[in-house]
């Protein structure tokens, strides 16, 4: 009885939680908004909005460069946010967190600062078939410019990485492995710890695209054993245009700066420049200060709820949606891995995903349609695009039912 009562007390009051998200109170086409496009970008709670508003209202100033009170306060808040991100990922120190514009810039930073100086013609970069474009294109660009070779590990019809084939592609020429933690197009959760252990045996560093993992599950970079981990704030209730790269301190120390300018220097003369300490040597120019402060507030928002409670709630939503959608004739769920994040991508016979999305939008329901910046995944499943539901902590079972009603109408209209 005590255990049951404990579980009941531990369940989220989602209706109360939703009041922290102003946008969820609006209507779309005369219907209450049902927002199911969280893998693209999540909504922002008042905690984040007020943190950013407070910066502009009370202590707007540049960071690390002034002795006046506003600059001191801005710098303190900025660095507190860095500490929050380090805490979220269980980094070894705050020095291992580099603020970037998001996951995409974090991948590009590693590609250009860590990998490029080490690449020779014939060297190899290994990724998977389920990667987001941001973990494909930077590596392709490097290969085109250096003569290196891009290797791609295959997936199966369930959208799972073929782990044995993956390991067989690791060779003495492999310079880095890039792998997505949770696929945005399929929901597949990759065995990152196993992949990192595998890579370590071969002495190959691993970069993990964690954009879709950090909002939904506990991420401990030390336990995972990776070398680089990339995140975006806007996937996890924070602002757009801000994210972070976590990297081992010894790697950051050895890496040259990628961009030059203010902040990333200690001394500049026409005879040469002395670079700043990490992480600042990778943060050239005035940073996105309000974004970083909002990022820190988003981390605190997640911590206050508890990532385990968020994950439990989202898995219940995923189970409900999957069960109900599996009953629909002519609907195919794309990506049925054993371990999935809160994403359901699907197609409907005789209907283009864009048409489905447009009709459902008139029910007030926001879903994503298209290739989801994962065109190779679409090619693998031989579809031009998919429609996609993706859940967050504020979503309700009843919202899935509203979506299903809209989908039923879409099928009838498009039949």
Catalytically annotated residues: 373
Residue 74's Cα: distance from chain center in Å? 26
Whether the CB-CB separation of 255 and 113 falls below 8 Å is answered with: yes
> CA-to-CA distance for 255 and 278, rounded, in angstroms?
10
Tell which phi-psi region holds residue 206, choosing left (phi > 0), alpha (psi between -120 and 50) or beta: beta
Whether the CB-CB separation of 330 and 346 falls below 8 Å is answered with: no
Whether the CB-CB separation of 226 and 206 falls below 8 Å is answered with: yes
Q: Hey, what are 217's tokens?
A: 């599950």
Work out the angle between the directed axes of helices 46-58 and 289-305 (0-180°, nearest 10): 150
Contacts 24+ apart (CB under 8 A), 382-387: 383/334, 383/347, 384/352, 384/353, 385/352, 385/353, 385/354, 386/185, 386/334, 386/345, 386/346, 386/347, 386/353, 387/345, 387/346, 387/347, 387/348, 387/353, 387/356, 387/357
Based on the number of CB atoms within 10 Å of its own CB, is 365 exposed (0-12), middle (13-18) or buried (19 or more)? buried
> CA-to-CA distance for 318 and 226, rounded, in angstroms?
28
Partners of 149 in beta bridges: 124
- In angstroms, what is the C-alpha Rg of the chain? 22
> CA-to-CA distance for 284 and 277, rounded, in angstroms?
12
């Amino acid at each position: 009885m005590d255990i049951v009562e404990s579980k009941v007390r531990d369940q989220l009051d989602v209706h109360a939680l939703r009041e922290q998200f102003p946008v969820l109170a609006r209507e779309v086409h005369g219907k209450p908004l049902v927002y199911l496009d969280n893998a693209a970008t999540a909504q922002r709670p008042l905690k984040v909005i007020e943190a950013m508003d407070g910066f502009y209202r009370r202590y707007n100033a540049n960071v690390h460069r002034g002795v006046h009170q506003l600059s001191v306060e801005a710098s303190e808040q900025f660095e507190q946010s860095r500490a929050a991100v380090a805490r979220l990922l269980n980094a070894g120190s705050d020095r291992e967190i580099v603020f970037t514009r998001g996951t995409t810039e974090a991948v590009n930073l590693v590609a250009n600062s860590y990998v490029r100086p080490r690449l020779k013609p014939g060297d190899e970069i290994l990724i998977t078939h389920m990667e987001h474009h941001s973990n494909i294109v930077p590596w392709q660009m490097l290969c085109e410019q250096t003569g290196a070779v891009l290797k791609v590990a295959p997936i199966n019809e369930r959208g799972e990485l073929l782990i044995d084939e993956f390991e067989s592609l690791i060779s003495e020429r492999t310079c880095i492995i890039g792998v997505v933690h949770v696929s945005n197009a399929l929901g597949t959760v990759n065995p990152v710890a196993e992949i990192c252990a595998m890579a370590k045996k071969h002495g190959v560093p691993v970069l993990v695209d964690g954009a879709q993992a950090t909002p939904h599950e506990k991420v401990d970079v030390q336990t995972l054993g990776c070398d680089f981990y990339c995140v975006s704030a806007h996937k996890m209730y924070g602002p757009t245009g801000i994210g972070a790269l976590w990297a081992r301190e010894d790697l950051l120390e050895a890496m040259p700066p990628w961009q030059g300018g203010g902040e990333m220097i200690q001394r500049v003369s026409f005879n040469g420049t002395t670079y700043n300490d990490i992480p600042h040597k990778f943060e050239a120019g005035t940073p996105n200060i309000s974004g970083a402060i909002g990022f820190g507030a988003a981390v605190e928002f997640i911590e206050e709820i508890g990532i385990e409670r968020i994950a439990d709630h989202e898995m219940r939503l995923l189970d409900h949606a999957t069960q109900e959608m599996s009953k629909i004739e002519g609907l195919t769920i794309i990506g049925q891995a054993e371990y999935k994040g809160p994403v359901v991508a699907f197609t409907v016979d005789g209907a283009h995903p864009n048409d489905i999305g447009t009709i459902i939008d008139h029910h007030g329901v926001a879903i994503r349609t298209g290739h989801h910046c994962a065109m190779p995944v679409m090619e693998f499943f031989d579809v031009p695009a998919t429609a996609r539901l993706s859940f967050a902590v504020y979503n309700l079972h009843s919202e899935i039912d509203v979506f299903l009603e809209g989908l039923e109408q879409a099928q009838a209209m498009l039949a």
